[in-house]
Amino acid sequence: MPTGALVRLYRIDRKKSVVNVATHAGITARYLEMIEAGTATPSLAVLRKLAKVLGVRTSALVGEAPSEDHEGPVNPRLAEVERALFTYRSLTLNGRDTPPELPDLTQRVTAAWDTWIISPNKYTDTLSLLPDLIIDAEHALTAYERSPEACRQASEVYQLARAVLKHAGRIDLVPFVCDRAMHYAEETGDPLLIGAATWYVGQAALSNDMPHTALDIAMMTAEKFEQMLPDGTPEHFYVYGSLLQLAAIASVRTGDPWRARELLRGSARRAAQRIGDGKSYHHIFFGPTNLGIHRVSVEVEAGEIGEALRMADEVDIAKIAYSERQTAHLYQVARCYGCRNNDTAVFVHLKMAAEICPQDFLYTHNARSMVSTLVKRAKPSYAGEVREFARRIGLLD
């Protein structure tokens, strides 16, 4: 269901009036009516206020349901990932007798990550690889007696599973796979891998509306890494800066935007300048441009849409070679323009995102929701183009 319809559904279920919900959320009744009708796109800050008033998680208002009934195509590959996640080592592992060679497994994991990061068909391609990777990683853990390398590859596989499941709408499974990634990372004893896995755990906490937990996790781990920086490698700075970015988003969601801004302007900025753009470590993105994207995110979360758009003008996503980061920023900017009722700018940014990764519009609820809103209120001069775009992504027959 679209976000507006979900808001209305929960409001009626709670037996609350439009005026009551709008007053407690700090918005006008007319604006809430527009949200419910699908003619206005609420900011993330407004969504969180509405979720609090209605007594639900924010994820419940964006259609991230724990099933394949969410808006979008039913993908049998996603069901295969689910089954693989529950194929424990004490079971038959699908009848596989010969364990994978660790060098071969390493190459397959690396190739799957590269597919997810840069492929325009990343969902189809990665979902075709992930079930076998999960089963083989678990098989390798048993065959090689939980060696450090086997644990490393298993942690990498579950980190990938987290990224795919989150964007495919299976938020309910994200904490499960992040816990496995963290567990196997700890068995390696590698501080860098543990730090990267901690970032994934913090992201899972954010996805499940636990910003205070995410903030504690990020800051405690960042403080440990800060002690390593004088003799640290670039990888230490990647993990450290990424944890500060996580802490900044968690801070603004706990109601402290000034702390979030200070984290990004201070320590995170110095770390980003140290390593520059164009690389990632353990598929965690950090650098000056990604830091700029997070600064925009903080202003969006704080409800400062004008400042967010001003900062967005300074972000050059061409400096990032990763489609996921590029499209995430474009969706964020599109939502900002939606809050300003600038539908032309919304459409421009959605089309840019579609050129980078068209499959996002089959799986990402927020992107589809923005297109649905455009279809309802597009001006006659470009309504036909909007409807044709909606047909291409499967929103219209």
Mean pLDDT, residues 320-339: 88
Distance CA 248, CA 254 (A): 10
Q: Give which of 258, 251, 248 is closest to 290, Cα–Cα.
A: 248
pLDDT tens digit sequence for 156-185: 999 999 999 888 878 788 889 999 999 999
Over the stretch 348-396, which tens digit does the pLDDT of each residue have? 999 999 998 888 888 877 788 888 888 888 888 888 999 999 888 878 7
Q: Is 67 left (phi over 0), alpha (psi -120 to 50) or beta?
A: beta
Residue extents of the structural domains in the chain? 1-63, 69-189, 191-321
Q: Decide if pLDDT at 263 tops 70.
A: yes
Position 92 scores a pLDDT of 53
Angle at 179 between CA 177 and CA 182, to 5 degrees: 110
70 pLDDT exceeds 80? Answer: no
Lowest mean pLDDT among 39-43, 230-234, 312-316: 39-43
- Which of 160, 152, 103 minimizes the C-alpha distance to 126? 160
CATH topology match: 1-63 vs 191-321: no
Q: If you average pLDDT over residues 277-288, what whole number do you get?
A: 81
Q: What is the C-alpha separation between 62 and 93, in angstroms, rounded?
A: 35
CA angle, residues 372, 362, 395, in degrees to nearest 5 = 35
Q: What's the pLDDT at 51?
A: 85
**pLDDT above 70: residue 300:** yes
191-321 under CATH 1.25.40, yes or no: yes
Identify residue 46 by its one-letter amino acid code: V
pLDDT of 65 = 43
> Each residue of 36-48: pLDDT tens digit?
887 777 777 788 8
Give the tens place of pLDDT for each residue, 191-224: 999 999 999 999 989 888 888 999 999 999 999 9
Q: What is the DSSP letter of 281?
A: E
pLDDT 10s digits, 121-131: 888 899 999 99
pLDDT at position 68: 39
Q: How far apart are CA 312 and CA 317, in angstroms?
A: 10
**For the domain 1-63, what is the CATH code?**
1.10.260.40
**Tokens 């269901």 belong to residue:** 1
